[in-house]
Amino acid sequence: MTAMDFLMLTKGPLFQAALAVFALGMLVRLVEIFVLGRAHNYAAPRGSAVLGGLRTTYKRFEPDPGTFKAAPFDVVVGMIWHIGFIVALLLFIPHVELIKSTFGIAWPALPNPVVDAVTAITLLGLLAALVHRLAHPVKRFLSTPEDYLIWGVTFLVMLTGWLAYHRIINPYPLALGIHILAAEIFLVVLPFTKLTHIFTAFVARYYNGAIFGRKGVQS
Amino acid sequence: MATSSPQRPAGQSAPTMDPPLGPIQRPTLGESLRRNGVSRRGFLKFCAATASMMALPPSMAPAIAAALETARRPSVIWLSFQECTGCTESLTRSFSPTVENLILDTISLDYHHTLQAAAGDAAEHAREEAMRANAGAYLVVVDGSLPGPKANPGHSTIAGISNYDMLMETVADAAAVIAVGSCAAFGGLPKADPNPSGAVAVQDLVKDKPVINVSGCPPLPMVITGVLAQYLTFGKLPELDEYNRPRAFFGQSIHDRCYRRPFYDKGLFAETFDDEGAKKGWCLYRLGCKGPMTYNACATMKWNGGSSWPVESGAPCLGCSEPDFWDAGGFYDALSVPPGNSGEMLLTAGAAGVAVGAGVGLLARSKAKSAEKQHQTVTAEQLEQKL
């Protein structure tokens, strides 16, 4: 198999397959959550559940002062690489072109050197997070193989993208093919691991906020 | 026809129409060039350019000149199969007259459909004669793909001989095979999905001889002559890449040598063919440029005597020197856009996901409800009795 065959395989059938697994798996999980619904609350509402839900969905982006004091490293590094990941995923020109061709929607992108710098910071952040996880006795005790798996697939997709952009692996079709394959592994793993938090975190935040909003409590 | 090309400038004497009597009787390349009116200066310039193309130090130019001067004209048999003659056009109309052109005049082109005067039996006779006289020493140049051994040979025949039979027969005593153009090198357009003629590339069939692929649709004329020059100079084949292409010409990507690369690095892109970015000459990535995955020398050597090349004229690189470029997605889709209908796949899988999710959710709900119905109360006394 030549590098070009590999690229066409990853861009063609493997991409379609990964997309199918991702869409099917993720929607099964989300729709199941929605269909299950919430237990009926017979108490008289003291506030708006919807407003409370939306408020908390947004508010959880702000680091909680208590958590920051207890684990500043996790808050700062976690935030940096999460933002970096989203920027590289959604604001890199080739990705915008891919999204445009798949979903038919597009938005402005960032210049390549900006995304490059963000990616480098993200890679460092992910490495720091891994080192901290391994060095911190409590974190290491709490870590499961799944935690390392999702760190691995996330790091790989960023690293291969950065290597392809800098053309460090040759020939380029091989570099690009490896990056696309890493992204496909990420997509396939996503619905069946903690990576579902990319979507379910917002469901959880909304439900939490809605419960408190209905009770008229700030959360 | 033995050696002639229609591009010879008027007033110059034709090279001797010597019969293919083996390499020893032929004039040297130096003699032929002088007879064709190529100045020493022009010849040395060509040698220097060849040295730089082959990534050799400039000090090698005199060595190349010396070797070419004394090189005997090799016999070349040019086979045209399922092709469009674009490769021959590229070569003969490169920029007449160039030293490259004359270098080709001074090989003994003993058989070439398009360029030879002979026809019918006489033409086939010339091929057989050249093969017999130069057995083990002649070069075979192929342009065009050919129906494979399992395909219907009737898709392409010459003088009633199937392309497959002619190739295998001609290659049997050849020194080496040069597959010119993406069709001969990789199958090209005839092999594009659904490949109705069962087309294959030369390297799929020729396993026991060196095969050099000079891909491109068409390839740069200088690359074809550069390979010949290297063969004449060093008496051996050039260093090849993973696709058996000469590394000297196919070692770097279009993207890496593109003069528009700074715009890519700055994130400045043309988004349509007539927007401000296009007028300012910004990067063509978003308009489908395949430069990042394409390895060829267009960006440095350019076309039409070095006047321009596709990207310079505002057209994205199609990736024509790469295998199966016809099937590698839309020419005007960005490199990151996958071929096929991803949106449809996403909708189908998504709809299935919604259905399965709803089913699983409803099942869980009904389970919870039936559990609620079957719920039995128990008093503290009853529990104590059990314990």
Q: Report the CATH number that the domain containing residue B118 is assigned in CATH.
A: 3.40.50.700
B189 and B62 housed in the same domain: yes
- Rounded to 5°, the CA angle A161-A162-A164 comes to 65
Helical ranges in B151-253 per DSSP H: 163-171, 181-186, 188-191, 202-205, 221-234, 247-250
B209 and B318 housed in the same domain: no
Q: Is B358 on the interface with A (CB under 8 A)?
A: yes
Q: Which residue does chain B place closest to A26, by CA atoms?
A: B353
ipTM of predicted complex:
0.81
B204 and B350 housed in the same domain: no
Distance CA B102, CA A159 (A): 50
> SS3 for B72?
strand
Does residue B7 lie within any of the structural domains?
no
Domain range holding A139?
67-122+129-143
B83 and B140 housed in the same domain: yes
Give residue A78's pLDDT band: very low, low, confident or very high (50, 70, 90).
Answer: very high
Does residue B49 lie within any of the structural domains?
yes
Mean pLDDT of chain B: 84
Give residue B75's pLDDT band: very low, low, confident or very high (50, 70, 90).
Answer: confident
Asked which of A143, A178, A200 is the last residue of a domain, the reply is: A143
Helix H, strand E, coil C: the string for chain A is: CCHHHHHHHHHCHHHHHHHHHHHHHHHHHHHHHHHHCCCCCCCCCCCCHHHHHHHHHHHCCCCCHHHHHHCHHHHHHHHHHHHHHHHHHHHCHHHHHHHHHHHCCCCCCCCHHHHHHHHHHHHHHHHHHHHHHHHCHHHHHHCCHHHHHHHHHHHHHHHHHHHHHCCCCCCHHHHHHHHHHHHHHHHHHHHHCHHHHHHHHHHHHHHHHHHHHHHCCCC
Residue A181: per-residue pLDDT:
97
- Position B283 pLDDT exceeds 70: yes
Residue B269: per-residue pLDDT:
92
B236 and B88 housed in the same domain: yes
B218 and B257 housed in the same domain: no
Residue B95 φ then ψ, to 5°:
-175, 90
A139 and A155 housed in the same domain: no
Q: Which residue has the higher pLDDT, B6 or A190?
A: A190
Token pair 């709803």 is found at B358
A138 and A181 housed in the same domain: no
Least CB–CB distance from B337: residue in A8, A26, A98: A98
Give residue A79's pLDDT band: very low, low, confident or very high (50, 70, 90).
Answer: very high
- Position B51 pLDDT exceeds 90: no
Q: Is B357 on the interface with A (CB under 8 A)?
A: yes
Residue B13: per-residue pLDDT:
39
B240 and B293 housed in the same domain: no
B43 and B116 housed in the same domain: yes
B291 and B304 housed in the same domain: yes
Sheet containing strand B176-180, strands side by side: B108-112, B75-80, B139-143, B176-180, B211-214
Does residue B164 lie within any of the structural domains?
yes
| Domain at B335, CATH number | 4.10.480.10
Residue B3: per-residue pLDDT:
39
Residue B6: per-residue pLDDT:
39
A160 and A117 housed in the same domain: no
Distance CA A88, CA A169 (A): 20
Give residue B93's pLDDT band: very low, low, confident or very high (50, 70, 90).
Answer: low
Domain range holding B161?
23-250
Residue B25: per-residue pLDDT:
55
Q: Is B14 on the interface with A (CB under 8 A)?
A: no
Residue B7: per-residue pLDDT:
40
Mean pLDDT of chain A: 93
A157 and A113 housed in the same domain: no
- Position B188 pLDDT exceeds 60: yes
- Rounded to 5°, the CA angle B50-B136-B223 comes to 20
Q: Which of A64-73, A157-166, B144-153 has the lowest mean pLDDT?
A: A64-73
Q: Which of A8-22, A63-77, B106-120, B320-334 has the lowest mean pLDDT?
A: B106-120
Residue B104: per-residue pLDDT:
62
Average pLDDT over residues B149-168: 93
Q: Which residues neighbour B307 within 8 Å (Cβ) at sequence distance 6 or greater?
A: none
Average pLDDT over residues A139-157: 96
B127 and B233 housed in the same domain: yes
Q: Is B17 on the interface with A (CB under 8 A)?
A: no
Give residue B16's pLDDT band: very low, low, confident or very high (50, 70, 90).
Answer: very low
- Position B95 pLDDT exceeds 70: no
Average pLDDT over residues B265-284: 93
Residue A4: per-residue pLDDT:
85
Long-range contacts of B47-53 (CB under 8 A, 24+ apart): B49/B222, B50/B226, B50/B229, B50/B230, B50/B233, B53/B222, B53/B226, B53/B248, B53/B249, B53/B297, B53/B301
Amino acid sitting at position A170: N
pLDDT tens sequence across A110-120: 988 999 999 99
B148 and B186 housed in the same domain: yes
Q: Cβ of B267 and A101 within 8 Å?
A: no
Domains: count for chain A: 2
Highest mean pLDDT among A6-20, B94-108, B330-344: A6-20
Nearest to A157 by CA among A122, A133, A131, A129: A122
Minimum distance, in Å, between the CA of residue B184 and any CA atom of chain A: 17
B222 and B273 housed in the same domain: no
Minimum distance, in Å, between the CA of residue B245 and any CA atom of chain A: 13
- Position B5 pLDDT exceeds 70: no
A156 and A219 housed in the same domain: yes
- Position B200 pLDDT exceeds 70: yes
Does residue A12 lie within any of the structural domains?
no
Chains A & B: contacts with CB separation below 8 Å: 151
Does residue A58 lie within any of the structural domains?
no
- Position B21 pLDDT exceeds 60: no
Q: Which residue does chain A place closest to B353, by CA atoms?
A: A24
Minimum distance, in Å, between the CA of residue B239 and any CA atom of chain A: 16
Average pLDDT over residues B208-212: 92
A215 and A158 housed in the same domain: yes
Distance CA B369, CA B375 (A): 10
Domains: count for chain B: 2
Q: Cβ of B343 and A15 within 8 Å?
A: no
Average pLDDT over residues A47-65: 91
A101 and A73 housed in the same domain: yes
Does residue B321 lie within any of the structural domains?
yes
Q: Is B354 on the interface with A (CB under 8 A)?
A: yes
Residue A141: per-residue pLDDT:
96
Q: Cβ of A5 and B323 within 8 Å?
A: yes
Least CB–CB distance from B357: residue in A31, A110, A111: A31
- Position B54 pLDDT exceeds 90: no
Q: Is B307 exposed, middle or buried (0-12, 13-18, 19+ CB in 10 A)?
A: exposed
Q: Which of A3-17, A125-139, B30-44, B321-335 has the lowest mean pLDDT?
A: B30-44
Q: Cβ of B286 and A7 within 8 Å?
A: no
Q: Cβ of B342 and A15 within 8 Å?
A: yes
Least CB–CB distance from A97: residue in B286, B322, B353: B286
Does residue A23 lie within any of the structural domains?
no
Q: Which residue has the higher pLDDT, B183 or B104?
A: B183
- Position B19 pLDDT exceeds 50: no
Q: Is B366 on the interface with A (CB under 8 A)?
A: no
- Position B103 pLDDT exceeds 50: yes
Average pLDDT over residues A58-81: 91
Residue B358: per-residue pLDDT:
94
Does residue A96 lie within any of the structural domains?
yes
Give residue B295's pLDDT band: very low, low, confident or very high (50, 70, 90).
Answer: very high
Asked which of A113, A143, A173 is the last residue of a domain, the reply is: A143
Q: Hey, how many other C-beta atoms are within 10 angstroms of the C-beta on B152?
A: 12
pLDDT tens sequence across B139-154: 899 999 999 999 999 9
Average pLDDT over residues B372-383: 87
Does residue A22 lie within any of the structural domains?
no
Q: Which residue has the higher pLDDT, B38 or B82?
A: B82
Interface test with B, best of A9, A10, A11 (most B CBs within 10 A): A11
Q: Which residue does chain B place closest to A169, by CA atoms?
A: B293
Task: Tell me the residues of chain B between 173 and 192 that have a Cβ less than 8 Å away from chain A.
Answer: none
Q: Hey, what are B83's tokens?
A: 């092709």
Cβ neighbours of B353 in A, within 8 Å: 23-28, 31
Q: Which of B52-61, B108-117, B193-202, B251-260 has the lowest mean pLDDT?
A: B52-61
Does residue B219 lie within any of the structural domains?
yes
Does residue A6 lie within any of the structural domains?
no
